[in-house]
């Protein structure tokens, strides 16, 4: 079993003995308080503030879904960014010693069985129990990282970018951009002349 924890979600991979297949499950935890307004914000807008105490746990809502996945997994990580704006990717090290990036949207426990207009506007995919393996999402391309054991990710100075290091007998490094390269501007970019053009 492998697991990763990030922000308010947990993703874990395991072998389902009953169904005889590889599965991944996701759990997301949400604050289920009737009002989620922070006391300081409530004061500014004239609302009734709610008290917050580290000794009183707010009511929580836990959502979960399970999926089955084709390849066996032997390492997992999650991408991250400095400000948390960029979409997340779940990074999987397969038994074929390759590195696969899977968008977090495929592991969203809110995926509906029947998508409504609101679900589509929010970008939620219709639930499918099978996680897709998209060939161009193998970030190690056709390379194998011999005896792949561990994957680490770290935020870069650019919000759109994360560093990824996969380690086995070989070492593989790359930069990943889950939300594409939306903030890459050369350091010598002339803002003044561009604004006057």
CA distance 97 to 132: 18
What pLDDT sits at residue 160? 87
Mean pLDDT of 143-152: 95
pLDDT at 130 over 50: yes
CA distance 172 to 144: 9
Instruction: Give the chain's length.
Output: 197
CA distance 113 to 109: 11
Q: What is the pTM of this model?
A: 0.81
* pLDDT tens, residue by residue, 5-15: 999 999 999 99
Mean pLDDT of 22-35: 88
* pLDDT tens, residue by residue, 156-182: 988 889 999 999 999 999 999 988 877
Mean pLDDT of the chain: 87
What pLDDT sits at residue 104? 95
Which DSSP letter does residue 130 get? B
């Amino acid at each position: 079993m492998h697991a990763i924890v990030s922000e308010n979600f947990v993703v874990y991979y395991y072998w389902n003995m009953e169904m005889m297949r590889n599965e991944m499950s996701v759990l997301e935890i949400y604050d289920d308080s009737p009002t989620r307004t922070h006391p300081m914000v409530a004061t500014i807008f004239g609302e009734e503030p709610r008290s917050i105490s580290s000794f009183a746990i707010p009511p929580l809502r836990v959502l979960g879904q399970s999926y089955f996945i084709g390849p066996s997994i032997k390492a997992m990580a999650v991408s991250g960014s400095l400000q948390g704006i960029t979409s997340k990717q779940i990074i999987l090290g397969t038994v074929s010693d390759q590195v696969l990036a899977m968008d977090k949207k495929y592991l969203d426990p809110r995926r509906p069985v029947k998508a409504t207009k609101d679900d589509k506007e929010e970008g939620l995919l219709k639930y499918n129990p099978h996680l897709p393996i998209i060939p161009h999402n193998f970030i190690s391309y056709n390379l194998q990282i011999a005896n792949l054991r561990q994957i680490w990710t770290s935020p870069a100075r650019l919000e759109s970018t994360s560093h990824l290091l996969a380690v086995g007998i070989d070492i593989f490094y790359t930069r990943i951009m889950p939300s594409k390269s939306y903030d890459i501007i050369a350091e010598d970019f002339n803002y003044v002349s561009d604004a006057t053009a």
